[in-house]
Amino acid sequence: MDSDAKGPGGNSLANRLKDVRNKEWYSKSSAAGRALNEKIESATNVMLEKSQRGLDRLYATVLEMPKVTVALMIIMAAWFGWVGSDFQSLIEDDVEIFLPEGADSTELLLEVREEWTTDLAIIYIQSSNARIGNGEGDNITEKQILEEISWVEGDEDNRGAGEDKRGVDWDKEDHGRNDGALWVISIAQVIKEVNSSDGRFNVAMCDHGLQSRLGVELDCEERNEQIGSGGEYTIPDQERIDEILEQAQGLVDSLVKDTNGDGIYDTAAIIIGLNHDMSTTGEYFDFETYLNHVEDIINTTNRPNDMRRTTMILTGLTKVLEDVSDEIFEDLKEMLPISLLLVVVVVTVLHRSWKIVIITGLPICMALAVTFGSAVLLKMTLTPMIVATGPILIGLGVDYSLHMINRIEESRNRIIDRKNEENYERRRHGESEEEVPELWDPVIYRQAVLEMTKTTGVAVFFSALTTIIGFSVMILPQIVPVIPIRSVGMTLCIGIFATLIFSIILVPTLGWLFRFHKRENPLAWGKISQFPVKHFGVVLL
């Protein structure tokens, strides 16, 4: 043993450590460390004392005027809720918002959009043959149906009609600035384009005198009357239509389909290139209002009586994204009440008191109102992902409120029990008893609230703080380049902070206002709590 403790110079390890401690630099560093620890501890104590004094003043004020406090909170939350009623307008459905900010793909999309549209709408058209089949029903390439498609697109026959009667692309030269449609592609347009190409060629021949120099036999005086053989930008007769379809078979197959394989074209589509900035039209604020306008046009009751032989449905990526945004908002409106109802049922069953429902539910509702109102005030860019924030905030709000109100009850009961124990000892020693405070003594209740802030309140505060820090990572553009995800992170941080503040202020206030007193727990809870102790192996597995 002795040899193990000795060093090469014969000095023991203890002596060497003693020599190190006696060194001047060691003494100074140790003293500096102790001084730093003392300063940190002193500063911490000062902060705790100040916070406790502040909380004491806060709760003294709100408990003296509980009704005024609750009323002011309700008014503030109601204002935020009123602002948040426009929450749906923040839910964007443009494709580029789902792309990383500053990424090459995003920049390329924006560059392409300057010259070509990337926003499309499709009118899906079906004739009666699609439903009936077996060679029966209408062919989508019949003259009357092609005229119906042309009417929906907008042609010379209905250009001067009312807003819903003049077609989708009623201004062919505006490049989408007036009617919102940059271009339209359909089988009807192809038929009209091919039909008019012969006429335009003949007009050019006559205007420049080429028919005489080339020896072409062409009656220039009758060139404007070449209906049926080509010339006008209109749907020709059925014979000319069939001729065009036979000549342009490859192009036609991409615009009309025989979906049931009976040899009759039964399905077609009108593809519309949309102006990305609909506000330039002066009539449509965004894609939603424009697409609603298109749906009004294709509505069967809006079309003339002789143009109702097809079924038309508006679809396309832009329409689908609009529908998804609308459905998500509707789901959010339905989901929040259901989530709150389930929480109310569970809390009521466990606590057997309607008061606890108000104590835990009111702060949650106010926090949700502040959250959605703040999102509107900050003009956040939101997507359907925002639907997840509601249940998260409801769950956290109930958790915070239940912890606080139960801790207040336990602290108050402990204070009263301590007074009873002191009186018992006094009786044993023959001393006079002190008055035991009532259950709703304001001093005792405030003491219980302050004791809650020192224990459970601290735990709830740090729980909320760490949760906010966790979600705040989603706000950093260096980590999360997608804007909607950053908006979700910001919304959650605001919501959790609002939930914490409302819980800290309202839970003690509502508990005092409603005179909430927790009932004794059923005996079954005691047996349930013993299960993990006795069968910890099963629980771990």
Above 70 in pLDDT, residue 422?
yes
Domain assignment present for residue 303? The answer is yes
- pTM, rounded to two decimals: 0.68
Could you tell me if 380 and 446 lie in one domain?
yes
Decide: 182 and 119 in contact? Cβ < 8 Å.
Answer: no
Domain assignment present for residue 24? The answer is no
> 3-state DSSP: the chain helix, strand, coil percent, rounded to 5?
65, 5, 30
Which is more confident, 230 or 140?
A: 140
Above 70 in pLDDT, residue 379?
yes
Residue 455 is part of a domain; what is its CATH number? 1.20.1640.10
Domain assignment present for residue 11? The answer is no
How confident is the model at residue 29, as a pLDDT?
58
Could you tell me if 234 and 252 lie in one domain?
yes
Tokens of 82: 């009123």
Could you tell me if 313 and 327 lie in one domain?
no
Which is more confident, 458 or 42?
A: 458
| 123 beta partners | 270, 314
For the residues 72-87, what does the mean pLDDT come to?
89
- Tens-digit pLDDT profile for residues 151-165: 998 887 777 777 788
What's the whole-number average pLDDT of the chain?
79
Domain assignment present for residue 523? The answer is no
Ranges 207-221, 275-289, 426-440, 445-459: which has the least confidence: 207-221
Tokens of 108: 């390329």
Could you tell me if 364 and 307 lie in one domain?
no
For the residues 382-394, what does the mean pLDDT come to?
78
Domain assignment present for residue 35? The answer is no
Percentage with pLDDT > 90 across the chain: 15
Could you tell me if 395 and 514 lie in one domain?
yes
Contacts (Cβ under 8 Å, ≥6 apart) of 88: 325, 326, 329
Domain assignment present for residue 393? The answer is yes
In what helix (H) or strand (E) does residue 274 lie, and over which residues does it extend? strand 267-274
Could you tell me if 356 and 241 lie in one domain?
no
How confident is the model at residue 507, as a pLDDT?
92
pLDDT band of residue 78 (cuts 50, 70, 90) is: very high
Whole-number Å distance between alpha carbons of 248 and 189: 13
Could you tell me if 310 and 286 lie in one domain?
yes
Could you tell me if 63 and 161 lie in one domain?
no
For the residues 427-452, what does the mean pLDDT come to?
83
Above 70 in pLDDT, residue 180?
yes
Which is more confident, 438 or 523?
A: 438
How confident is the model at residue 215, as a pLDDT?
44
Taking alpha carbons only, the member of 184, 157, 158 closest to residue 169 is: 184
How confident is the model at residue 227, as a pLDDT?
41
Tokens of 393: 């905030």
Helices (H), 154-286: 187-207, 210-213, 238-247, 249-253
Could you tell me if 215 and 344 lie in one domain?
no
How many domains are there within the chain? 2
Whole-number Å distance between alpha carbons of 470 and 458: 18
Above 50 in pLDDT, residue 228?
no
Last residue of a domain, one of 299, 322, 345: 322
Last residue of a domain, one of 322, 346, 362: 322
Last residue of a domain, one of 306, 322, 338: 322
Q: Which domain holds residue 274?
A: 116-322
Domain assignment present for residue 59? The answer is yes
How confident is the model at residue 11, as a pLDDT?
52
For the residues 447-458, what does the mean pLDDT come to?
87
Q: What is the number of alpha carbons within 13 Å of residue 534 lying toward its C-beta?
A: 6
Domain assignment present for residue 541? The answer is no
How confident is the model at residue 496, as a pLDDT?
93
Could you tell me if 252 and 277 lie in one domain?
yes
How confident is the model at residue 74, as a pLDDT?
94
Above 50 in pLDDT, residue 211?
no
For the residues 138-162, what does the mean pLDDT come to?
85
How confident is the model at residue 397, as a pLDDT?
86
Which is more confident, 227 or 27?
A: 27
Could you tell me if 263 and 366 lie in one domain?
no
Could you tell me if 381 and 449 lie in one domain?
yes
Which is more confident, 309 or 41?
A: 309
pLDDT band of residue 5 (cuts 50, 70, 90) is: very low
Tokens of 458: 């601290």
DSSP three-state, residue 134: coil
pLDDT band of residue 313 (cuts 50, 70, 90) is: very high
- Tens-digit pLDDT profile for residues 46-55: 777 777 787 7
